[in-house]
């Protein structure tokens, strides 16, 4: 059995904060302990100290990302928090279709930041195709990023257990997902027309970002709960800079910008706009 001594947990929390902005409170001791125990059983490391020493002295980026995966949570689902999609339909796609909102070059740029295994960016792509009857006239591109190697690999593969789409409308599933044809039984794969719209990459939100924007929409949902207040404030303000004026910013419905210093205007619970 692995029991974490306070100084070991503190070392883990320091690494998590330093590299990835994660704020591990004492409430996470049990979770970290359990995940570390099952990792160590299958690893060459004799105990927690040996593993921590490896992380301190020899670990390369891939080793660090294995450790990140032990600490983070990838929970996600298709069309999660549907109110955000409703807002986009009402306040973004409908005005675009009606011509009351115009975009240079008819280019729509969306960023799904901390996209986990890809359900969020693919939902955004399917939703845009549904909301824009004249879809082919638009140049839509969705950037999907996450730090987790395993999440990014799944997002690129775009194959999911059938259970993950069982709650979706049947027409939506038959239009935008594929079965059979080399796809494992019990799995579905996002259709090529949807996948083409999404570029998946690995990005640590704490590091410099290569993209310049401007984005029309940024979804940064259910990740800031893992960061402390100064980290959240910095992140939100960096995203504010990357949005075009009028751009839409959605965070998780359990999250809020209320206590942060930002220039965003609230338009709906957990949805904000840049003035
Ligand atoms: C709970 S998932 C949220 C997924 C999706 N946005 C949603 O709401 O369904 C949180 C994701 O944040 C990612 N994450 C945590 N810290 C990160 C960081 N510093 N940079 C990039 N991604 C990070 C994790 O890998 C994980 O996939």
Distance CA 231, CA 158 (A): 30
Q: State pTM to two decimals.
A: 0.97
> Does residue 249 line the site of ligand 1, with CB under 6 A?
no
Q: Is the CB of 221 under 6 A from ligand 1?
A: yes
Centre of ligand 1 from the C-alpha of residue 237, in Å:
18
For a mutational test of ligand 1's pocket, the pick from 152, 153, 223, i.e. the residue with the most ligand atoms closer than 8 A to its C-beta, is: 223
Instruction: Report the alpha-carbon distance of residue 233 to residue 147 in Å, rounded.
Output: 19
pLDDT at residue 136, as a whole number: 94
Residue-wise pLDDT for 190-214, tens only, equals 999 999 999 999 999 999 999 999 9
Q: Is 129 helix (H, G, I), strand (E, B) or coil?
A: helix
Q: Does ligand 1 come within 6 angstroms of the Cβ of 28?
A: no
Distance 103 CA to ligand 1 centre (A): 29
| Mean pLDDT calculated for residue range 161-171 | 97
**Model confidence pLDDT, tens digit, residues 52-61:** 999 999 999 9
Q: Which of 31, 82, 147 to mutate to test the pocket of ligand 1 (most atoms within 8 A of CB)?
A: 147
Residue 63: C-alpha distances to residues 21, 56, 266 (Å): 17, 11, 40
How does pLDDT run across 68-118, given as a tens digit for each residue?
999 999 999 999 999 999 999 999 999 999 999 999 999 999 999 999 999
* Mean of per-residue pLDDT scores for the chain: 96
Which pLDDT belongs to residue 181? 85
Which residue stretches of the chain are H helix? 6-20, 29-41, 48-57, 61-71, 82-88, 94-98, 119-131, 149-157, 170-176, 192-195, 229-242
Residue 259 binned pLDDT confidence (cut-offs 50, 70, 90): very high
Q: How far is the CA of 99 from the centre of ligand 1 (A)?
A: 35
- What pLDDT score does 213 carry? 92
* pLDDT tens column, 116-138: 999 999 999 999 999 999 999 99
pLDDT in tens, 30-58: 999 999 999 999 999 999 999 999 999 99
What pLDDT score does 175 carry?
98
Tell me, using a 6 A CB cutoff, whether residue 149 lines ligand 1. Answer: no
Cis peptide, bond prior to residue 214, ω within 30 of zero: yes
CA 104, chain centre distance (Å):
27
- Ligand 1: residue of 67, 112, 116 to mutate (most ligand atoms within 8 A of CB) is 116
**What pLDDT was estimated at residue 2?**
73
Task: Please report the pLDDT score of residue 197 as a whole number.
Answer: 98
Compute, in angstroms, the gap from residue 66 CA to the centroid of ligand 1.
15
Answer yes or no: is the C-beta of 223 below 6 A from any ligand 1 atom: yes
**CB–CB of 70/42 below 8 Å?**
no
pLDDT at 3: 84
Decide: 154 in ligand 1 pocket, CB within 6 A: no
- On whether the CB atoms of residues 205 and 114 are closer than 8 A, the answer is yes
pLDDT at residue number 223: 98
Say how many Å lie between the CA of residue 221 and the centre of ligand 1: 8
Give residue 154's pLDDT band: very low, low, confident or very high (50, 70, 90).
Answer: very high
Q: With cut-offs at 50, 70 and 90, classify the pLDDT of residue 1.
A: low
């Amino acid at each position: 059995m692995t029991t974490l001594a306070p100084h070991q947990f503190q070392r883990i929390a320091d690494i998590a904060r330093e590299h990835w902005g994660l704020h591990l409170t004492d409430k996470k001791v049990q979770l970290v302990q359990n995940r570390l125990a099952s990792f160590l059983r299958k690893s060459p490391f004799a105990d927690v100290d040996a593993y921590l020493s490896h992380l301190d002295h020899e670990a390369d980026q891939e080793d660090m990302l294995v450790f990140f995966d032990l600490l983070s949570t990838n929970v996600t689902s298709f069309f999660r928090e549907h109110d955000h999609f409703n807002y986009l339909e009402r306040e973004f796609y409908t005005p675009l279709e009606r011509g009351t909102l115009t975009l240079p070059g008819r280019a729509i740029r969306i960023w799904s930041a901390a996209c986990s295994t890809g359900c969020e960016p693919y939902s955004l792509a399917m939703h845009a195709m549904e909301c824009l009857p004249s879809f082919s006239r638009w140049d839509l591109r969705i950037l999907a990023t996450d730090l987790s190697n395993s999440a990014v690999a799944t997002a690129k593969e775009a194959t999911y257990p059938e259970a993950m789409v069982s709650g979706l409308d049947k027409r939506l599933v038959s239009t935008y997902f594929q079965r059979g044809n080399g796809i494992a039984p019990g799995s579905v794969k996002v259709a090529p027309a949807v996948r083409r719209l999404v570029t998946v990459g690995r990005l640590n939100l704490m590091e410099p970002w290569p993209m310049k924007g401007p984005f029309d929409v940024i979804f940064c949902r259910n990740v800031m709960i893992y960061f402390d207040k100064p980290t959240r404030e910095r992140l939100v303000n960096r995203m504010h800079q990357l949005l075009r004026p009028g751009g839409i910013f959605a965070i998780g419905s359990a999250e809020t910008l209320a206590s942060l210093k930002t220039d965003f205007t609230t338009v709906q619970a957990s949805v904000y706009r840049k003035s």
